[in-house]
């Protein structure tokens, strides 16, 4: 249970920190500088948002794999 609480706290902190993150490649940086401040912030938010879906999918797959390995290991130890 402690492990789950730690994971939840870490996840919440990562979500809070990601609000301040900027993610742009060099092409997006040049485009954002030409758009102005408002659209540039929207572009940053969109990049972070679009990166979230693949990361969530990979996290889910990793979690399922870890859970299955944990079951196999506990079965082998008994």
Spatial contact of 44 and 32, defined as CB atoms under 8 Å apart: yes
For the full predicted model, state whether its pTM sits above 0.95.
no
Please tell me the total count of domains within the chain. Answer: 1
Question: What tens digit of pLDDT does each residue of 22-56 get?
Answer: 656 777 778 878 888 888 888 878 887 888 889 99
Which domain, by its residues, includes 38? 2-77
Q: Which of 45, 43, 38 has its CA nearest to residue 19?
A: 45
The DSSP secondary-structure symbol of 19 reads: T
**How much is the pLDDT for 6?**
87
Residue 19 Cα distances to 22, 60, 68, 75, angstroms: 8, 22, 33, 42
Question: What tens digit of pLDDT does each residue of 65-77 get?
Answer: 999 998 888 877 7
């Amino acid at each position: 249970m402690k492990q789950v609480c730690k994971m939840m706290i870490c996840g919440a902190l990562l979500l809070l920190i990601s609000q301040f993150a900027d993610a742009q490649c060099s092409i997006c940086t040049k485009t954002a500088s030409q758009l102005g401040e408002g659209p540039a912030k929207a572009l940053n938010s969109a990049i972070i948002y679009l990166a979230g879906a693949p990361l969530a999918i990979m996290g889910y797959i990793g979690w399922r794999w870890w859970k299955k390995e944990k079951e196999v290991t506990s079965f082998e130890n008994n």
